[in-house]
A = this chain, B = another copy of it.
Amino acid sequence: MKSGERMTIAEIARRANVSAGTIDRVIHNRGEVAAPTREKILNLIREMNFKPHLLASTLASGKDYLVATLIPAADNDSLFWHQPSMGFEKASRQVGHYGITHQPFYFDYFDRNTFEKALRDILSTKPDAVILAPFFPDLTAGFLTKAEALGIMIIFINLTTFNHSCQTFVGQDPVHSGRVAAHLFDLALRKGDRLLIVNIMSEKGGNVHLMSREEGFRNYFNSYGPDKLELETINIYGNSQAQIEQTLKEGLANNDISRRPVSGIFVTNSRVFYVADFLERNARNNLVLAGYDLLECNVKHLMDNRIAFLISQNPVEQGYRSFMSVFEKLIMKKSLPLRQYLPIDIITRENIMYYLNTQSYD
């Protein structure tokens, strides 16, 4: 235990021949300070490189911040959205001492009414910051206007609607993630191979991601080898088992004898397990399959080598980073970058253990 001489408000006050209260006033620009005094103090602060002691400051101020989070409820189909919550809680535990309280809200992404209601509920709690996954852009837009008027800090997580602005966005660049997947297929496949791009869409919309990912995927090959693979896109709407099965069967069918069989399938979202299930039932394991996100059912297929690799969106980290961002802004008074893109992690059977957040966060 060593001691380091710390510059304090009292010390500044002494050197400026004023009282601590005056220093405090200029630090927080609370006015009521004569211009020359203010200047003198400001200079001293700069010279001494004085920074208020964060702990003492938050302790004394006793401020309490409320941050509301709004993400889809994790249903059995996709426990993806359970993970940002873990990130929220981890962050909340870390910075809770600073008077930051977390209040989670959830909605059903099949029901825009639940989203609307949640937004109303959130406003009624008068939060200082809101972290939300902006499904339903129109509803989000209305909310943003109100929030801005109230000086509420807004953070987008996972998705972003580019037409309106938020403080910061935390998520993954979908176009780039498509490129990453493409590069791996480029390594794994050979010239002339056929590859299926499968978009398994929800009828409810929110499929912008998939398009961007496909765009990135095709971009890659356009720039690095337009004739390397034969790319075909299959769009499947809805997630009825039968329909998916049927469409896949057609896509994989080899009517034209002159063509090779499909040797790679890129699924543009986390529903890749549907395809893996299909391949398993039909005993087709001689092709390279890839998709998104570490859902339990995807992981299973990854371990069985039925899925070659997955792109992870780092959902836990998304939650963590977005929550920490409000801490940095509100408490540390830092300015935030407009977008915080998280790494596009490549997950295989061999490194997945390090990406599953089964570790305890205590």
Contacts and interface: CB of A to CB of B under 8 A. Distances in A.
Nearest to A58: B55
B101 A4 contact: yes
Interface stretch (A201-209, A292-300, A340-348): A340-348
Interface string A166-192: 000000000010011011100110000
Contacts of A187: 184, 187-188, 288, 308-309
A65 B1 contact: yes
Assembly stoichiometry (copies): 2
Contacts of A362: 334
Interface stretch (A11-19, A131-139, A227-235, A349-357): A349-357
Contact of A351 (B176, B348, B349): B176
A1 B64 contact: yes
Contacts of A182: 350
Contact of A350 (B2, B97, B125, B176): B176
A327 to B, nearest CB: 11
A53 B176 contact: no
A183 B351 CA distance: 10
B350 A220 contact: yes
Nearest to A103: B2
A236 interface: no
A263 B128 CA distance: 58
A324 B141 CA distance: 39
Given A4-B64, A66-B2, A187-B187, A346 B342 contact: no
A167 B80 CA distance: 34
Contacts of A176: 350-351
Interface in A79-109: 97-98, 101
A124 interface: no
B343 A179 contact: no
A55 B100 CA distance: 13
A54 B220 CA distance: 50
A257 interface: no
A351 B344 contact: yes
A286 interface: no
A255 interface: no
A3 interface: yes
A216 to B, nearest CB: 9
A354 B340 CA distance: 10
Contacts of A101: 2, 4
B3 A64 contact: yes
A98 B56 CA distance: 11
A120 interface: no
Interface string A42-62: 000000000001111011000
Contacts of A341: 354
A346 B290 CA distance: 15
18 contacts: A1-B65, A1-B66, A1-B128, A3-B64, A4-B101, A53-B97, A179-B350, A180-B348, A180-B350, A183-B348, A184-B187, A184-B348, A187-B187, A220-B350, A334-B362, A343-B354, A345-B345, A345-B346
Given A2-B65, A180-B350, A344-B350, 16 more contacts: A1-B64, A2-B101, A4-B101, A54-B97, A55-B55, A176-B351, A180-B351, A183-B349, A184-B187, A187-B187, A187-B188, A187-B288, A334-B362, A343-B345, A343-B355, A344-B351
